[in-house]
Amino acid sequence: MKNQTSKQLEINLGQRSYPILINPDGFDLAAIEPLWSGKKVLLVSNDVVAPLYAEAVIDALEGCDVKCCVLPDGEVHKNSTSWLAILDAMAAHGMTRTDLLVSLGGGVICDMTGFAAASWMRGIDFIQIPTTLLSQIDASVGGKTGINHAQGKNLIGAFHQPRAVIINTATLNTLPAREFAAGIGEAVKYGGINQAQFIDWLSTKQQAILEHSAVVLSELIAQCCAFKVQVVEQDEKEQGVRALLNLGHTFGHALETATNYQGYLHGEAVALGMVMAAELSYQLGYCDKQLRKTLENLLQGFGLPIKLDKEITADQLVRLMRLDKKVQSGKHRLILMKGLGQAFIETGVEESDLLNAIKACT
């Protein structure tokens, strides 16, 4: 460990193990030089992040034959057109199975770069350089890659682990405040799943987090990555416990689809989805009313939404939830809570229950 703000974690998945390096400044690619040295590299970013950080990353990849693929920004572009653009850029760069993709951006870029890496020549190496809080604590770690389909979010994808995750927390200083808050939505999720004490920690550190204290941010990111690592190590391909990471996501994906990915940011949708999950847990008798209140207070303190936008109806959301990958025989599989930090998988939720819970969150 270099100083108080530099941290290193390892995700242990046998041959697919990799380091997660957290630094307060700079892109620590020197630490993983064997992964990129002497290779052709395609750096995938977007038109917001590339002007800010691509040059620094290219400098850090000294001696590599690097080309850039700069995509249009936004969740609306997390689609097959962008994915094909990455593959076209790889072809133009003459990349082989031993070359390397590097993502530079938020979760959208991480997911699409990972999916391009998974599909090019049946799978090549890639490195994640996440630049939003959400992607630093969640999207860059764990190997879920993919793109959206018009029918729903992340319907096309693959499990493909990166070879390293390089986090430069200074990139968060250019992140819009609303995007930063959205990242907190995913952080609260970890607390809701199985880390009640982390909810207390987030409440205590709220001011320092909002002021971007480098020490606190580094601690926040390391704690979240450690939670995610623990879950992914137990269940890499989401056969069981990893599904808990979807707390708030089934409602959240429907919220994103309902607004064509333009109403709620992903982390905002997850935050509101968690409130709905807490309400449903209460209505089904699994927990008391206070759980929803505690979550709402914390989320609201970070500027996250806790009520459904008037333009979306409960019926519309439930219709969209039918398309979710987790619906089986008309019954919904959702992550509910028995209390803070006590999430569990509930199969067999009826649509009428979903409707009632959503209506109580308007």
Ligand X SMILES: NC(=O)c1ccc[n+]([C@@H]2O[C@H](COP(=O)([O-])OP(=O)(O)OC[C@H]3O[C@@H](n4cnc5c(N)ncnc54)[C@H](O)[C@@H]3O)[C@@H](O)[C@H]2O)c1
> Taking the complex as a whole, how short is the minimal distance between the CB of residue 361 and ligand X, in angstroms?
21
Selected catalytic residue, list 179, 236, 238, 268: 238
Quick check: is 246 catalytic? yes
| Positive or negative torsion for Cα 198, 304, 204, 165 | positive
Quick check: is 242 catalytic? yes
Pick the closer one to ligand X by CB: 175 or 340.
Answer: 175
Q: Cα torsion for 251, 252, 254, 257, to the nearest 10°?
A: 180
CA 191 to chain centre: 15
Quick check: is 144 catalytic? yes
CA 281 to chain centre: 24
> Taking the complex as a whole, how short is the minimal distance between the CB of residue 232 and ligand X, in angstroms?
9
Quick check: is 332 catalytic? no
Which residues have CB under 8 Å from 34's CB, separation 6+?
Answer: none
Which residues have CB under 8 Å from 359's CB, separation 6+?
Answer: 314
> Taking the complex as a whole, how short is the minimal distance between the CB of residue 144 and ligand X, in angstroms?
4
Quick check: is 39 catalytic? no
Helix and strand tally (H, E) in the chain?
A: 14, 12
Pick the closer one to ligand X by CB: 132 or 282.
Answer: 132
Q: What is the token pair recorded at 115? A: 């999916």
Q: Residue 103: helix, strand or coil by DSSP? A: strand
Count of residues in the chain: 362
Selected catalytic residue, list 77, 144, 163, 189: 144
Quick check: is 253 catalytic? yes
- Angle formed by the axes of helices 249-258 and 266-283, nearest 10°: 130
Selected catalytic residue, list 78, 160, 249, 292: 249
Pick the closer one to ligand X by CB: 197 or 262.
Answer: 262
Quick check: is 249 catalytic? yes
Selected catalytic residue, list 23, 46, 168, 246: 246
> Taking the complex as a whole, how short is the minimal distance between the CB of residue 50 and ligand X, in angstroms?
9
Q: Give residue number: closest CB to ligand X.
A: 107
Quick check: is 153 catalytic? no
Rounded CA separation 183/201 (Å) = 16
**Residues in the site for ligand X, rule: CB under 6 A?**
46, 48-49, 52, 73, 75, 78, 105-109, 111, 131-132, 134-135, 138-139, 142, 144, 154, 171, 174-175, 179, 182, 265-267
Residues annotated as catalytic are 122, 144, 186, 228, 238, 242, 246, 249, 253, 266
